Structure 1
Amino acid sequence: MTGPVLAVDQGTSGTKALVVCPERGVIGSGFAAVRPRHPSGGLVEADPAELYGSVLDAGRQALAEAGEPVVALGLANQGETVLAWDPATGRPLADALVWQDRRAETVCAELALHADELRQLTGLPLDPYFAAPKMAWIRRHLTRDGVVTTSDAWLVHRLTGAFVTDAATAGRTQLLDLDSAVWSPRALGLYGLSDERLPEVVDAAGPVGVTTAFGPEIPLTGLVVDQQAALLAQRVTAPGTAKCTYGTGAFLLAHTGDAPRRSGSGLVGCVAWRLAGRTSYCLDGQVYTAASAVRWLGELGVIEDAADLDRVGSAVPDSGGVTFVPALAGLAAPWWRGDVRGSLTGLGLDTTPGHLVRALCEGLAAQVVALADAAAADLGAPLEVLRADGGLTRSALLMQTQADLLQRPVEVSALPDATALGVGALARIGATPGLGVEEALPEWKPAAVYEPRVPADEAAERLARFRAAVTALLDGAPA
C-alpha cells in the first residue's frame, strides 16, 4: 500500500501531527497544545478530554494542509501517563496522572522489599514514574470502576474501539515480563492489580482498527511509545549508537539487540519495539526536566523562552562558577531519587542571567553524560556518537555544551519531529505487507555535528563540580 500516512505524536505539552509521503516527505503538519496542571506536592495532571481533543485538532490541521487522503494512521504516546475510564462509553473516570506525577511514592514505599524482584521481572526500578504505581494509586484513592490503563489504550479505544497497547508501551508499566513480553501475573499480584482487565499487547506495526475521527475511514496500523519512535527514526536499530531526545524531559536510549538486558548501572531495560512477533530491546535513561526546566527559567523572567538560550547564554564565556542541578521534579536515572529537588549554588552579586542559562545547559548536559556513562558500563564499550533530536536541539549552546562534556560528537537530527516520523514509518510498515524497516524509515542525516571544543581535563573538572552538587543533594535528602 503506497500513499501518505498520518503520524500523530501525543506528547506532554502538545500533540504534533504530520502527513508524511514516502516520495515527498512531510506535506502537512498540525499542532495542538496541552496544558498539564501542576498542583503542589509533585503532582502533575492532565484533562483526558484535552489529550484526545489535541489529537483530533492536530490531525485535522495536518490533513487539511496536505489536502489529500492518507492510507494509514500511526499514534505515538507519552508512555507512563495513566487514567481510569469506562470501556463501555470511553468516558474518563478521573484526570490522567502524567508521567512526571509523584503521588504514587506511597505505593512504591510499600513494595520496597520487592524492588529487586520487580526489576528482575520487568527491567524497571521501583519508582512512581512508571505506570503500575499510578494504576494502583488510582484504584486505591480515586475509583474501582472501569479499566485503568496507559493513555494510549484509551486514545486507541476512542479512535477505533479496539482495546490494545503495543509491547513497548506495555513495557513502561512494570507489569510486563521483560523476557516474554507478556503481562506478568506476579507483578500484577504485587501491585494488587490481578483482577484488572488489561489491553491486548500487540506489535508496533499492524492493523489495530479503523477510525473515522478525522473524517474518512483511516486504518490505525502503527502504535508505539514516544521515545522508541524517536529511536527508530534516528535509525538506531542495532547496538553501538544511542539517541537522546530533548523534550519536556531528556531521554537517552541505546539499542541492545534481540536479548533483554537488566542494567547494573541504574538504567531501565525495556522493549524497543515488537515487529512481526520479534522483540527488540533497549536501555533507557531519563532526565525528568529538560524543556520544562527551561520553561521554569522563563517563568522566573530570566529568559523569555527556549529561543533565548543562545542569545542570553552567549553574553558570558562560562557559568561564572554557578552550578545548577535542574532536578525540579526529582532525579531519575541513574540515581532514582524522586524526592530530591534541584539546587543552584555558587551565586554571587556578579551572577547574570547568562550565567544561569549556561549553568542550566551544563546541568542538563551533565545528566545526559551520566546516562551515557551508565549505558557504556552496561554495554561494555563507550558510545561512539550521540544522535540528538527534540525541540531543545535548536540551541547551539546546549548542543555544544553536550559535546564538550560528553567528549564525543553530537549529531543533531535534521528531522525536527523524529517521534512522529518514527511512528509514521511504523504505520507504513503495518499497512504494507512485506515492507522492511529500513525501507520505511526516513533518510537519516545530521543537520549539524557538534565536536568537543574543550580538552578532556576541563570537561572532567566541570562534570566533577556537577557531581559534587548532586552528592550534596543526595546527602541532604531523606533516603
Structure 2
Amino acid sequence: MTVLAVDAGTTTVRCVAVDGDGRPVGEERLSLPPANPAPGLVEFDALVLAEAVMGMATEVLERHGPVDGVGIASQRASAVAWDRSTGQPVGPGIGWQDLRTVARCGELRAEGVPVAPNQSATKFEWLMGESRATGRADICLGTVDSWLAWVLTCGKAHVTDLTNAAATGLLALDGSWDVALLDCLSIPASSLPEVVGSAGVVTAASVLPGAPPISALAGDQQASLIGLGCVSVGQTKLTAGTGAMVDMCTGDVAGTGADGCYPMPAWATPDGVAWMLEGAVLSAGSAVAWLVDLGVVPDVASSHALASGCEDSGGVVFVPALSGLGTPTWDDGARGTLLGVTRGTGRAEICRAVLEGVAHCCADVIEVLARTSGTKPTSVRMDGGMSANPTFVQSLADASGIVVERSSELEATALGAAALVRVATGDATDPTDAMKGWQPAELVGPRGPVDRDRWAEAVSRARP
C-alpha cells in the first residue's frame, strides 16, 4: 500500500508518499515561515498554507499514483478561524509561539483558570473577538489539522484528534470540550471541531485526485514519536529543530507532570489512548542560527566543521536561553549567557560551546522525564535538523550519558502519520505493529563523563 502524509510544520510544509514498508518514495516541500509583524506576534496565512498543501499533494499523487489514505501531522496549538459558509479565514492564523495573549493569560491564571499563551485557548478567544467586530457570526475554530481537513474535504469535516485537542488547553478530563472554560472565554462550543481518534477514516479528501480518505490526524511531536518507533513504555525521542522537544512513551498511563514536563496523549485508537511525557528546549537550532547572524559561521551546516576544529570548548560554556528556558524551569526571564571567554577563545570554541549548551539543555529534559516517569531510558532516538550535526549528536550522548540512535530520516513526522494511516486501514494492528521494522542509521555512545555541575552553575547564572 501507499499513503500520503502531510506534514505541516512551523516553518516547512511537506507532502510525502510513503510505501507499505514505511519508506518515503516521493516528496514535495515548501518553506513557509511565519511572519512577525511586531515583537511577540507570530502569524501565518492560512489560505496560503492550504493552497500549498493542495498543490503539493496533487503533484505527489499525480507522480506516484493513487494512495490508500491521507494522514495529517501538524504544528500543535496554532489557531485558525474561518467563516463556515464561505470557508475563508477570518483574521490571521496565529502561531503557537505568539505572545499577544500573555497579559490575558496572566489575568485568567490570577482567577484560577489554567491557561498558557502557547495553547490555543486564548488565541481562539482573540480570533472570536476579531470575528464579532466584523459582524461574522458562524465561525469555525481549529488548529492547523482541523483547517487542513476542512479544506481537503470541501468543508465536509470539521474535526481534530485528541493529540491536537489536548494542546488547545480547552479539554476537560474526560476528553470533551470544557464547557465552563468555553463560557469563561466566550467561545461557542459549536465553533469547535469534533474530537476524533488519531487513526480512523474521517471522510474523503475530495479536492485531491482519486479522493483518498483522510485516515489519520496527529500533532507533530506525537507523529515524530511514532515515526521513530518509540511506541513502548520508556522509549524516548528527541526532535531537534528550531527548538527541541523530548518525548517519552508511557503507554496507557497518563502520569503526572513535574519539574516542567507534562503528560500528553501520544495517540488515540479504538484500542484506547497511549500517553507520553514531554519536555521542551526553547532554543536549539535557533542558537546555531544566532551564530550565523553574528558571522561566527557562514551557515548552520558549517557549525560542525568549525566546532570539530577544536577538541573542547576551552572552558567556554553557553546557556542557550535566547528565548528563556523551557523544561525544567520554564523561566521567561533567563537570558543567553556566555561564560569562560578568554583572549585565546576563538570562533571554534564558541561554536562548540553553543552546540554543547543545547546538548546539556536536552540532557536536562531527559533527566526530568526519567525522574518523573520512574523509567530511565537506555537510549534516545533523534530526528530533526540538528541530528545531521555530528558534533551535536556526540555532545548529546556525552551530556545525557546514554546512546543516541540517529534516525535515517531527518524528519520522522511524516512516517508517524503514515503509520497511523496503516492502522486505520487495517494494514497494521497498532502503531507498534506499524513501526516494528524501525532501525537507526547510527548509534552514538557517550565517550565519558562531562562536568554537569559546571553546567548547572552556568544555568543558575543565566537566571534572574
Q: Deviations over 1:83-112 (max 9, x none)?
A: 222122221112222122222211221122
Aligned residue among 224, 234, 253 for 1:259: 253
Q: Does 1:138 align with 2:127?
A: yes
Distance in 2 (alpha carbons) for counterparts of 1:470 and 1:18: 40
Which deviates more, 342-351 or 445-454? Answer: 342-351
Cα distance in 1 between the residues matched to 2:236 and 2:111 = 31
Unaligned runs of 5+ in 1: 119-125
Letter in 2 for 1:28: G
> In the aligned structure 2, how far is the partner of 1:474 from the partner of 1:190?
34
Amino acid at match of 1:152: D
> What RMSD over aligned residues (CA atoms) do the two structures have, in Å?
2.2
Letter in 2 for 1:154: W
Aligned position for 1:82: 79
Residue 258 of structure 1 deviates from its aligned partner by 1.2
The match for 1:6 among 4, 7, 10 is 4
Q: TM-score, normalised by structure 2?
A: 0.92
Is residue 2:431 matched to residue 1:473? Answer: no
Unpaired runs of 5+ in structure 2? Answer: none
Q: Residues 340 and 105 of structure 1: is their aligned pair in 2 closer, same or farther, counting only changes over 3 Å?
A: farther
Moved more, 267-276 or 51-60: 51-60
**Secondary structure of the equivalent of 1:171?**
helix
> What SS does structure 1 have at the residue aligned with 2:321?
coil
Partner secondary structure for residue 350 of structure 2: helix
Tell whether the 8 Å contact from 1:294 to 1:306 is kept in structure 2 after alignment. Answer: yes
Deviations, residues 58-86 of structure 1 (Å, cap 9, x unaligned): 323433443x2212111100012112221
Q: Deviations over 1:203-260 (max 9, x none)?
A: 0111112123333311110110010011112222221221111122211111112132
Residue 144 of structure 2 corresponds to 151
1:52 and 1:429 mapped to 2: Cα distance? 26
Q: Cα–Cα, structure 1 residues 295 and 275, in superposed 2: closer, same or farther, change >3 Å?
A: same
Determine helix, strand or coil for the equivalent of 2:181. helix
CA distance in 2, matches of 1:6, 1:435: 19
**SS state at 1:237 partner:** coil
Report if the CA contact (8 A) 1:15-1:58 is conserved.
no
Is the partner of 1:108 in helix, strand or coil? helix
The one-letter code of the counterpart of 1:34 is L
Report the AA paired with residue 437 of structure 1: P
- More off after superposition, 203-212 vs 167-176: 203-212
Correspondence for 1:175 among 167, 170, 173: 170
Deviates more, 1:154-163 or 1:303-312: 303-312
1:399 aligns with 2:393: yes
**Could you tell me which of 52, 55, 59 is aligned with 2:53?**
55
**Which residue in 1 is equivalent to 2:217?**
223
**In structure 1, distance between residues paired with 2:345 and 2:362:** 25
Residues matched between the structures, number: 458
Partner of 1:18: 16
| Alignment CA distance shift 1:296-1:64 (3 Å) | farther
How far has the Cα of 1:353 moved from its partner?
A: 2.3
| 1:69 aligned onto 2:66 | yes
Please tell me whether the aligned partners of residues 28 and 63 of structure 1 are also in contact (alpha carbons under 8 angstroms): no
For 2:291 and 2:207, how far apart are their aligned partners in 1?
38
The normalised TM-score by structure 1 is 0.89
Tell whether the 8 Å contact from 1:32 to 1:57 is kept in structure 2 after alignment: no
Q: Does 1:163 align with 2:161?
A: no
* Farther off after superposition, 92-101 or 386-395: 92-101
Q: 1:409 is matched with which residue?
A: 403
**In the alignment, what sits opposite 2:109?**
112
Instruction: Write the deviation string for residues 104-144 of structure 1: whole angstroms up to 9, x where unpaired.
Output: 211221122356x73xxxxxxx4311221322333456756
Please identify, of 228-237 and 292-301, the stretch whose mean Cα deviation from structure 2 is larger. 292-301
